[in-house]
Amino acid sequence: MKSLFLAIIFTVFAVFFTHARELTSLSESHKFKQFGLVWGLMKYHHPLVSKGKYNWSEAFVKNVEKLERIKTQEALNLFLLNFINSIKPSKIKISNDFDGLFTKNYDYDWISKFPATSELYKKLNALKLNTNISDYYVSIGTLSIIPTFENEKGLEKFDVSIKSHRLLTLFSFWNAIQYFDVNKYLMDTDWEDTLDTLIPKFLICESELKYERLKAELVRALDDSHALYLNQKLLDSLFKYKPSFATNLVNDTLVVVATFDQNAEDYNKIKLGDKIVKIEGKSINRTILENLSPYISASNYSYLKRFSNWILRGQSDSLKITIARNDSLFSKCLPRYKDLPNTNQKVLSRDAPKKKWQFIEDDIGYINLRSISKQEIKTAFSSFTQTKGIIIDLRKTPSNLLLNELTRYLYPKRKKFIRVLGPISNRPSLAKHVKSPLRLISDPFKTGHKNRNFYRNKVILLVNNNTMSQSEYIGMAIQGSPNCLTVGKTTAGAVMNIAAFTLPDATQVNFTSLGAFYPDDTSAQRKGLKIDHYVNETTSNFLRDQYVLKGIELIKMK
């Protein structure tokens, strides 16, 4: 009986101590995550670190190497506390004032996972609320309000085979976005979840190509059309071989619009106007999602479809496609090339306006903003005074257009057409709606002039997924005119200027620096411009410009 009692006691203690070890033991990923979060908090919140008084990238590398011997949470907590205390104490200025501030990106929940009574928690919480912050690692200009990271110059002798170097890439970029991307709240995947997914991958990745793929995966998680990152090595590994023809995507079909080889129609069996309905047995939309979405950051699916030609590229010198021609459906295996031949290019002719401005009917004007000059805009509006409506084409990026040169003819008076959200230099992860930077400078978020003779009839704005960034900004201004209707498809959803961040390996990544809202507070980031009438393009009506035809129809409607 005594033996049985002792056995039970032994079992209970064994289970208890095993459970205790499980509670305090650390996974490698979790250990590095906690350090990377504390390191990032100090970089952007600590009074001295934010002054650039320490080489913070080297501090990361050295401490990651020391972390190898940390095995329990208790040991890690002490390590993190000592790490914070290794920096000379400096004055902390606490602020709990959030009045009028944008708080959707304010996320410090990870701090609450440390014991609330511990010295570590108290120091982290004080740093979170500190506003005594300098601008060495990130500065925000008075005029541009765009965050700049000019002292991010890369790590000397960066080596992708070194674990601490790879993790530095991950945490440098992750923390910059965590604290200074005002559009972070719009991501499909929570930004901390992205970190959890990528830490294990960065830990075991030692080849340069795998590392580049992980960087693309990291940037793609922004869901930001400005944040395209694909270096040449990665491009070559994914899209090395190309077909000798180009296509436009219409719904779930690729229409062949150009060929680049005089023999293409002979031995490739491809003709202008052919409709490609499957690639390697898969639908076009499925192929786009599988082949492109893992690597291309896109605010929305409409923007991702801009890269539809890329799904015809690949790592082999041939591909199998299914073609619809007339009433026939057949499959062909076609060659692909490293270098595209360009001996006898043929282009599918489409019926669309060709001039910078013109009458497309006796009482309907058309203006293409791509390369029109100030004088040409003036002449166009002078000529269109008696028209029933004007179609303004913004499907290609204007090269030299100043906004007020256009809106002076569209607005009866000056007014605000956009609200802009910007970061705050000493309040990381918070943001505010920006007012005119200086009183002496005209408010850039207003446009138009007092003009009794403004154009009073219908204005039709044409947009599509090529309408991006500056074009979307211009589009929002045109939409602010009294009689504007917008026709087309979802735009790229990346309205404002870009911010550039240099990674430790010296490569550069961009992201949309500011948030864009209509005056009624509707967000334009990711959603794109408001559309009044969506264009229904089909392969049967593809040769005629359905955008322009819809514009004409709307102008003629009473």
Encode pLDDT of 168-227 as tens digits. 999 999 999 999 999 999 999 999 999 999 999 999 998 999 999 999 999 999 999 999
For residues 443 and 403, give the distance between their C-alpha atoms in angstroms, rounded to a whole number.
13
Nearest Cα to 314, choosing from 337, 339, 284, 341? 337
Residue 344: pLDDT band (50, 70, 90) is confident
Domain range 357-556, CATH architecture = Alpha-Beta Complex (3.90)
Mean pLDDT of the region 487-491: 98
- CATH topology (fold) of 236-347: Pdz3 Domain (2.30.42)
Mean pLDDT value of segment 485-490 = 98
Average pLDDT of the residues of the chain: 91
| Same fold? 236-347, 357-556 | no
State phi, psi for 523 to the nearest 5 degrees: -75, 140
| The predicted structure's pLDDT at residue 277 | 97
Has residue 56 got a pLDDT over 80? yes
Where is pLDDT greater, at 12 or 167?
A: 167
So what's the pLDDT on residue 440? 44
Nearest partner of 235 among 320, 344, 338, 152, judged by Cα: 338
- Per-residue pLDDT at 436: 64
Residue 24 is predicted with a pLDDT of 59
| pLDDT attached to residue 124 | 97
Domain boundaries, the chain: 25-180+188-221, 236-347, 357-556
Identify the top-confidence range among 226-240, 268-282, 387-401.
Answer: 387-401
Query: Averaged over 324-338, what is the pLDDT?
Result: 91
The residues with which 102 forms a beta bridge, in sequence order, are 431
Per the DSSP assignment, residues forming a β-bridge with 416 are 446
The per-residue pLDDT for range 239-286, each reduced to its tens digit, is 999 998 999 999 999 999 998 875 655 545 789 999 999 999 999 999
The pLDDT score that the predictor gives to residue 117 is 93
Q: What pLDDT score was predicted for residue 268?
A: 57
Q: Which helix (H) or strand (E) holds 405?
A: helix 403-407
Can you tell me the distance from the alpha carbon of 190 to that of 192, in angstroms, rounded to the nearest whole number? 6
Q: Euclidean distance between the first and final Cα of the chain, in Å? A: 100
The confidence score (pLDDT) of residue 453 equals: 94
pLDDT over 90, % of the chain: 83
